[in-house]
Amino acid sequence: MNKQTFAIRGMHCASCVYTSEKALKTISGVTDVVVNLATGKATLTSDAPVEKNKIVDAVKSVGYQALIENDGTLDDKIKTEKIKELKDLKIKVFVSLFLGGVIVWGSFPGIMDFAPTLFKNFYFQFVLAAIVQFWAAGDLYRAAISSLKHRTANMDVLVVIGTTVAFLYSIFVTFFPNFFMDLKIEAMPYFDVSTVIIGLILLGRYLEAQAKAGTGEAIKKLIGLQAKTARVIRNKKEIDIPIDEVTAGDLIRVRPGEKIPVDGIIVEGESAIDESMVTGESMPSSKYKGDIVIGATMNKSGSFIYKATKVGADTMLSQIIKLVEEAQGSKAPIQRLADIISSYFVPIVIMLAVSTFVSWYVFGPSGGLILAMLNSIAVLIIACPCAMGLATPTAIMVGTGIGAEHGILIKDAESLETTHKVKTIIFDKTGTLTNGKPEVTDVIAINDAQQRVFSSATPPRGPLAIPQKQLFSLAASIEKLSEHPLGEAIVKKAEEEKLVLSEVEGFKSLTGKGVEGIVDGKKIYVGRLLKSDSFTDGENLKKQGKTVVYVYIENKLAGLVAIADTIKESAKEAILTLNKMGIETVMITGDNEATAKAIGKKLGIKKVLAEVMPQDKEREVKKFQKEGKVVAMVGDGINDAPALAAADIGIAMGTGTDVAIEAAGITLVNKNLISVVSAIKLSKQTMKTIKLNLFWAFAYNVILIPVAMMGLISPILASGAMAFSSISVITNSLLLKRAKI
């Protein structure tokens, strides 16, 4: 089987995707087509390579443009095209709204009295409206024609029909005023209706396109995490080669502070490795001979040699990239309620307009042709879908604006629409429910085990006792020379407490065990508990999910220091509120089970999934989805990206990685987990407003169309009623600002 990937320019909705796939499937030899709206790419599977011109022609036949480049330049080409598209759309939005504003100033009662004479001139208004109608709205016309070709009717069709009728009616009034005078009908053009509506529709398109412009950046940032070179051992010599030239079986040397190039197994040496990119955990992982290391993770301390086992597309990072890309592409865009209504509404309106014309022409009084034309125009104008076209985008614009004010950045309309349906929320632990940084929580001296010097859970009780102060000062003095993250946490806490640190002689780092040195003539060791010793308090702290390091003075156990990732202040309130709302809360983490369960118990999360790798996180999300649940994923790390992309709605912490933020639909800039609750409430209020808008818009058409068919309303009044309907919808959307979230 052969696969070809290329970009498609001009897609903006689910209908575009369907139309493109349908056209490409008609090519001989093609067995499958997948069009990814998020990335703008299409993947074509065929028995043999398909000629470039056939692909271009198939895509062109439905109104879009295929961009076929070499794999290395395709992403750059897509980015260039998106930038160009945004610039063009931005210009069209500005021109449409500016010219529409000029026309409104010269025609709207109350303000036209203050307008320049030129602005009141109907011929001048016609020129301005024509620019908007046939230049700015060009893409709308092309999309509408394409939709009709495939026997579908979306919002593009509605907008085009409505604005075109209003525009043509205004032209007739402008160039043939005597026609209406002879009938003793006062006629006024309504160029402002078509121009302003087109401008607002294009503004919504621009905002949506701007949000989608950075979709592919998550993938690029993931790729950028890879090491560029690897130090391989060949012919007993260490040489640096590009990472692309590394092959499975190569021996690779990694020094402290370097990225691990590819996946493999340690064959010589030991080290502590920061695997937060994959596991999400801030605590480094100790690695020994025979242990697996993961490409793109960071070596913190020791130097070691490992054998490459997975290279290129087989590495874990490459798999994460693949998962993110697939998850983004597998999302089916939400079918807009307005589009569903439109698919039935458009053909009905056309039939009613034709029926009106025929009825008045056949059965009407003398001059039936004129009355038939006027009444059918009135039907089309009154049925103009402007209000329906504005129902969703205006509410979305207001809703996203409110979200931004509260530190909730919503990437697109789909995310806002989906959030209120969420029944299960899966939380990452480290950096999401917790602060993501190791902190000293307890210091216990062996001769006073009941007193804890520091505690994140409870404040210190009175002044520092001498034994604890001395113990922690010794530990910090030794760890000051260490590069280990746990040591850094100890030193940071000592500095906060303004402890005086001593000079250290003969410092040694014992990889995988701890550190030691001489302080004031005494041998001090900080690290693992020696096999011959036991400390009940240490075991109890471990059960609470804390990491414990023990302090020895002259080979005698003197006490311990406990370190843990502390829970965010807003986490407990957020979980409690969500549970009360009937939303299932789940915690998922790459951390050990004991730590995970301890934190889950404190927060009131009943379902805890521990020791879960990135690909497994995505799998767990899909398990809940298979149960029929709408799932939200809240995370902050690179390891969360596949799950964020696979979930019905991904929510990223603003303090998280760029990759996580790019893969998510919502970003919490304010770092407050209560904002998860606020996002759900905002979504509910916004959807309520949209449904009310659509009801009003549709009811308006249902009520007034029969009135127009009976000849009881003129095109002028129809245009006025249409404008009033649109204003009502916009006003209702603005009322959303009063919503409490």
**Residue range 367-387, pLDDT digits in tens:** 566 677 778 877 876 776 667
3-class secondary structure, 507: strand
Q: Would you place residue 542 in the very low, low, confident or very high pLDDT band (cuts 50, 70, 90)?
A: confident
- What is the tens place of the pLDDT at every residue in 624-643? 999 999 999 998 877 788 88
User: Considering only CA atoms, which of 365, 384, 366, 373 is closest in space to residue 714?
Assistant: 373
Would you state the pLDDT for residue 720?
A: 65
As a whole number of angstroms, the distance between CA 380 and CA 721 comes to 12
Residue 645 CB contacts under 8 Å (≥ 6 apart), including other chains: 218, 323, 324, 327, 328, 618, 663
Q: Can you tell me the distance from the alpha carbon of 260 to that of 249, in angstroms, rounded to the nearest whole number?
A: 15
- Round to whole Å and give the CA distance between 610 and 296: 23
| Tokens of residue 156, six digits | 């593009």
Instruction: Enter the tokens of residue 179.
Output: 């026609």
- Residue 592, SS3 per DSSP: coil
Per cent of the chain over pLDDT 70 is: 82
- The first and second tokens of residue 683, run together, are 């979504």
Is the model's pLDDT at 327 over the cut of 50?
no
Q: What φ, ψ does residue 438 adopt, rounded to 5°?
A: -70, 135
Position 505 pLDDT exceeds 60? yes
The answer to whether 662 touches 221, Cβ cutoff 8 Å, is yes
Q: Which of 362, 393, 241, 384 is nearest to 729 (CA)?
A: 393
Given a contact cutoff of 8 angstroms between Cβ atoms, the answer to whether 288 and 510 are in contact is no
pLDDT in tens, 677-736: 999 999 999 888 888 888 887 787 788 889 888 888 765 576 667 667 777 887 888 888
User: Residue 24 CB: number of other CB atoms within 10 A?
Assistant: 26
Q: How many CA atoms lie within 13 A of 476 on its CB side?
A: 22
Nearest CA to 487 among 553, 438, 430? 438
Q: Report the pLDDT value the prediction gives residue 74, as an integer from 0 to 100.
A: 61
pLDDT higher than 80, residue 532: no
Paired residues of 552 in beta bridges = 525, 557
Cα dist from 411 to 219, 359, 443, whole Å: 17, 50, 45
Catalytic residues: 428
- Who has greater pLDDT, 457 or 628? 628
* Per-residue pLDDT, 719: 61
Instruction: Please write the tens of the pLDDT for every residue from 233-259.
Output: 988 889 999 988 999 999 999 998 899
In this structure, the number of other CB atoms found within 10 A of the CB of residue 631 comes to: 25
CA 31 to chain centre: 32
Answer for the pair 425, 647: CB distance below 8 angstroms, yes or no.
Answer: no
Longest dimension (CA), the chain: 119
pLDDT (tens digit per residue) in 170-195: 898 888 888 777 766 666 787 887 88
Query: Do residues 635 and 649 touch, judged by C-beta distance below 8 A?
Result: no
Res. 280: pLDDT tops 60: no
